[in-house]
Structure 1
Amino acid sequence: MSANALAWQALDKAAGDLEGQLYRRIRERILDSTMRAGQGLPSSRTLARTLGVARSTVVQAYERLKADGYLVAQTGSATRVAEVGTAPLPHALQPAPSLSETANEPALSRLFEPGVPDLADFPHASWARYLGARARSLRIHDLGYGDANGVRELQKAILEHVAHTRGVVARPEQVMIVPSTRAAIDLLACILLRPGEANGSVAWMEEPGYPTAQALLRSAGAEMVPVPCDDAGIDVARALGPPPRLIYVTPSHQYPTGVTMSLQRRLALLEVAQASSAIVIEDDYDSEFQYGSRPIAALQGIDRNGIVVYLGTFSKILAPGVRVAYAIVPPRLLREVSAALQLRGAVVPIHVQAALADFIRDGRLRSHIRKMKALYAVRMAASVAALRHHCGDALHISDGSGGLQLAAWFRDPDVDDQALAQILKANGFAMQPMSRFHLGPARPGLVFGISRVAPATVQADVARLAEMMKSSCA
């Protein structure tokens, strides 16, 4: 059956986001095999006329689907459905029984510090107005203990934001408001890991991966299994260990390498998780900042089995001091996560939640992201250019297509990156050694932060860095 023969129902114009509606409709048809690999789609002009929408709406939806790997197109030929088959399960995996932020202390002399946003352009005045207005207008029932899961206004505002920008599919009650992603990971690890059961403590972790997540999982009793990442993201077919109870990933912008997980790898990951009755923790780390293309949609949006917990935070896009993050949990985990959240009392102040809901609904967050994305894109490009010019002989520099950090690997595999990082730290540089992000043997490298780079001085800064590395590694 050709795509042209499929019935194209009218979009719900009253609901808005026509591009998103069309994107999700085509994506669902591909994922449920109604549309198969190689099938041609109607031209953008034809489909726009059929649906009664602007041609640009169809073009943009097609472009999103191409970026996410669902469609392919060649000059002079029709846009077609891509091959999205999954990789085979790892040999070690057998079907299992069914199972029911770093504080930003201003330190402008710490050059290239990763993990922190630039607070110089934080919207201080407008945020203070929103915060003050809500603090002055709290109602009587707002002053009680309230719902530990979060203020409903903020749950709705967050869900509308991530549904539009990240393709997340959920209901407001699935949004749990927490002070940080650290708190969320810790909470989930304690709930999901069951050391007394067979494989109940096994956690698969990206390699390299976020050290704080590694530490939190370990403290919850996890048996850590590193799973290699390459240019297409985590490769579950190369996992060497028992079936997981929990899998931690940063698929949209892998930390620290910066790669985006391919669609094939995403589907393979979901297949493995389903086969082993595991829960996937999707940490959507600084995915808003993509410089060469639109951010790829969240893994959670293509989860058909309720096995993905989606984590987001305002620490990178606003400021760590706002102290607001969130976990969007599958319905089957709602009761357990809610009870644990209530018990722990990890609650964000009511007036902060309400103010942030207003800030998002009024478009302030969207505006701030646009502004910072433009600034960070310039700083990333300047950093990549300077590092390749001055350090290209010693370091392989990644492309810097997104995020607030930039990965680089030493061409000499014998460099002690931890010792070098200590020397550089004593001289005002704050890069992190790549080995810090590994559970096993590491290829030496450095992780650079670009958020506070000054394009006017970055060439001189990197020239000084190159001289120091040369003398230290001689």
Structure 2
Amino acid sequence: MALERARGDLQGQLFRALRARILSGILPPGVRLPSTRQLAVSLGLSRSTVVSAYERLQAEGYVTNAAGKASRVADIMPPVAAPSRLPRPAPNTLPAPAQLPAPLAPGVPDLAAFPSVQWGRLLASAARHLPGAELGYDAPFGLPALAKAILAHIAVTRGVAAEPEQLLIFPSTRAAIALLSRTVLRRTAPDTAPVWIEDPAYPSARQILREAGARLVPVPVDGEGIHVLQAAGLPPPCLIYVTPSHQYPTGVTMSLARRLSILELARQTGAFILEDDYDSEFQFDGRPIAALQGIDQVGTVIYLGTLSKVLAPGLRLAYAIVPHGLLAEVQRGVRLEGLAVSVHMQAAFLAFLREGHFGAHIRRMSTLYAARMTRFREEVQRACGAVAELGPGTGGLQLALWFRNQNVGDGAVAASMQRQGYAPQPISPMYLGAPRAGLLCGIAGLMPERARTAAADIAAAVAL
């Protein structure tokens, strides 16, 4: 088994190579895998690298492993046979690696860890067994059973409180932001009721709000989140866009005092709050503070959730919980714009939730991401502490690095990193007001063994 050491991510290469052999039948069900020590010696790897690869195989259902016994290939359904003209991969060659996001890309989960076996089984089952009635036009806002299941999940994990009819399924949070903002803006002339937005902010949300006709007013973010009291004297907003669980891009969590303050402001002004809870599942420093929606007493908060950060962006499945006062208008927009999501995808995710795979995946990935965040933060602190101040790193999929010397161009640093195969993003363009230079680095796809090299490359790019 040949590994491309220059590419790094040896654990991922080993995982994908063994997975390919299992799926192709080269390693049939029941066959005993080499011990981790034996395979580590034969491949010249650390034992921890092999152990991690075996653990990923077991977590995704490819391998079984009872205490004190050898790891064996699980009895899984084989894939559909390839046409006979396609040769079987030779046992002594590594299959071509999948096209994955570049290291340090923010906001992207570890796509190599996607639970493809369980998901493929459930999606195939949905395609075969979905009732004919659910294939029609009768559920444009999402399968009712899925709405109930999602609500049951986020009621426990995020403290959200709503009725099933308030939860609408969308193909993405971007589509939801676009429709919801247009719906709110239609009620008030944006010149007299602007949209308040965090500063800095998620660039895509800012662009979508502008496309909807919003006049954006930046409100500063500090260590406690958006500081609405600093917006005193400005025209009252009709909409406020926030990311309270892990502010994008700073990573700070909005304090309870700020949460109560923004809810009171919305109550007094009649504004709606668009709460983008994009990656709240991954909290590494204790239990996260409940969502704004869960402590909203007057129906001002529109809550957004997504599978893009938890599972994979390509699933195209997000959801919004809409206050009753907006619900009919938003439902009308969903119908008119044809924003329905494939019922097979919805049914597969419903089964994924009911069978416990979703919770298990979140727990597993939270452990992995916490370790990657800790290791990357330690390495960046060691290599870049003199030139950069680090964000909190207590949750989420990215870490902010703020340059101590604000004369350093973060765009040039990001471009230098991208030429080396990385994909961090400069932070200064995320501001509407006075910018602060820095880098936003994704941690999800960065294997621990590459953290030191990546940190050294950042330090070298800043020094150029």
Q: What is the TM-score with the length of structure 1 in the denominator?
A: 0.75
5 Å-filtered alignment, 1:155-304, equals 155-194=147-186, 197=189, 199=191, 202-239=194-231, 241-304=234-297
Identity %: 51
Match of 2:405 in 1: 412
Match of 1:135 in 2: 127
- State the Cα deviation string for residues 411-460 of structure 1 (Å, max 9, x = none): 01211111221222122221111112111221111101000111112112
- In the alignment, structure 1 residue 328 sits paired with structure 2 residue 321: yes
Contact 1:435 1:442 in 2 (8 A): yes
1:107: how far off? Answer: 5.3
Match of 1:463 in 2: 456
Match of 1:4 in 2: none
1:148: how far off? Answer: 1.2
One-letter amino acid of the counterpart of residue 152, structure 1? P
Taking only aligned residues, the RMSD between alpha carbons, in angstroms, comes to 1.6
Go from structure 1 to structure 2 and tell me whether the alpha carbon gap of 1:302 and 1:346 turns closer, same or farther (over 3 Å shift). Answer: same
How far apart, in 2, do the equivalents of 1:106 and 1:466 lie?
A: 29
Match of 2:349 in 1: 356
How far apart, in 2, do the equivalents of 1:208 and 1:198 lie?
A: 21
1:276: how far off? Answer: 1.2
Unpaired segments ≥5 residues, structure 1: 1-104
- In the alignment, structure 1 residue 383 sits paired with structure 2 residue 376: yes
Match of 1:119 in 2: 111
1:469: how far off? Answer: 2.2
Residue 437 of structure 1 is aligned with which of 420, 430, 437?
A: 430
Instruction: Find the residue that maps to 1:456 and give its secondary structure.
Output: helix
1:200: how far off? Answer: 5.2
Go from structure 1 to structure 2 and tell me whether the alpha carbon gap of 1:343 and 1:200 turns closer, same or farther (over 3 Å shift). Answer: farther
How far apart, in 2, do the equivalents of 1:321 and 1:335 lie?
A: 29
- State the Cα deviation string for residues 84-135 of structure 1 (Å, max 9, x = none): xxxxxxxxxxxxxxxxxxxxx9755722110100011111010111111111
Match of 1:74 in 2: none
Contact 2:428 2:437 in 1 (8 A): yes
Contact 2:399 2:442 in 1 (8 A): yes
The list of structure 1 runs, each at least 4 consecutive aligned residues, that deviate by more than 6 angstroms after superposition, is none
How far apart, in 2, do the equivalents of 1:310 and 1:196 lie?
A: 21
Match of 2:446 in 1: 453
- State the Cα deviation string for residues 394-413 of structure 1 (Å, max 9, x = none): 10012311000001100012
1:313: how far off? Answer: 0.2
Contact 2:427 2:438 in 1 (8 A): yes
- State the Cα deviation string for residues 327-385 of structure 1 (Å, max 9, x = none): 00111111111111011101111111111111111111000000000000010001000
Instruction: Find the residue that maps to 2:113 and give its secondary structure.
Output: coil
One-letter amino acid of the counterpart of residue 165, structure 1? T
Contact 1:311 1:328 in 2 (8 A): yes
- Give the number of aligned pairs: 367
Contact 1:324 1:348 in 2 (8 A): yes
How far apart, in 1, do the equivalents of 2:352 and 2:149 lie?
A: 9
How far apart, in 2, do the equivalents of 1:198 and 1:223 lie?
A: 6
One-letter amino acid of the counterpart of residue 230, structure 1? D
How far apart, in 1, do the equivalents of 2:188 and 2:313 lie?
A: 36
1:467: how far off? Answer: 2.0
One-letter amino acid of the counterpart of residue 251, structure 1? P
How far apart, in 2, do the equivalents of 1:464 and 1:424 lie?
A: 7
5 Å-filtered alignment, 1:98-117, equals 108=100, 110-117=102-109
Match of 1:373 in 2: 366
